[in-house]
Amino acid sequence: NAGVMQNPRHLVRRRGQEARLRCSPMKGHSHVYWYRQLPEEGLKFMVYLQKENIIDESGMPKERFSAEFPKEGPSILRIQQVVRGDSAAYFCASSPDFEYEQYFGPGTRLTVT
């Protein structure tokens, strides 16, 4: 069973561009979480999604950030009009039904120039 996949692993965007981060959960997992890790800090929760539903987006910035987890395909974290402060590592985690342990992907490191 392949682990959680994230791509790209590294993404460079200029200020004002859009960034799209993809996460494919482990097979059979229908719960996806996104976390952000700023330099020298711990991970901060952003959003929790199930297939086609956003369950908890309490950690998402109010503007420019959105997430989806469609019925088919990977979960997408979208950042519009990126700014330098968006530079961070973005981690995705997934879990199966009835299990609280989250399995993490390798992360996407976003650099905004």
Partner 1 sequence: AQTVTQSQPEMSVQEAETVTLSCTYDTSENNYYLFWYKQPPSRQMILVIRQEAYKQQNATENRFSVNFQKAAKSFSLKISDSQLGDTAMYFCAFMKGGTSYGKLTFGQGTILTVHP
Point out which residues bind partner 1 (CB under 8 A). 31, 33, 35, 41-45, 48, 55-56, 58-59, 89, 91, 93, 95, 97-104, 106-107, 109
- Smallest distance from partner 1 to CB 42, Å: 4
- Smallest distance from partner 1 to CB 9, Å: 10
The smaller minimum CB distance to partner 1, of residues 18 and 41, is found at 41
The smaller minimum CB distance to partner 1, of residues 33 and 69, is found at 33
Give the E-state strand segments of 1-113 in sequence order: 5-7, 10-13, 19-24, 31-37, 43-50, 53-56, 65-68, 75-79, 88-95, 103-104, 108-112
For residues 62 and 90, give the distance between their C-alpha atoms in angstroms, rounded to a whole number: 17
* Residue in 4, 103, 92 with CA at minimum distance from that of residue 46: 92
- Smallest distance from partner 1 to CB 13, Å: 19
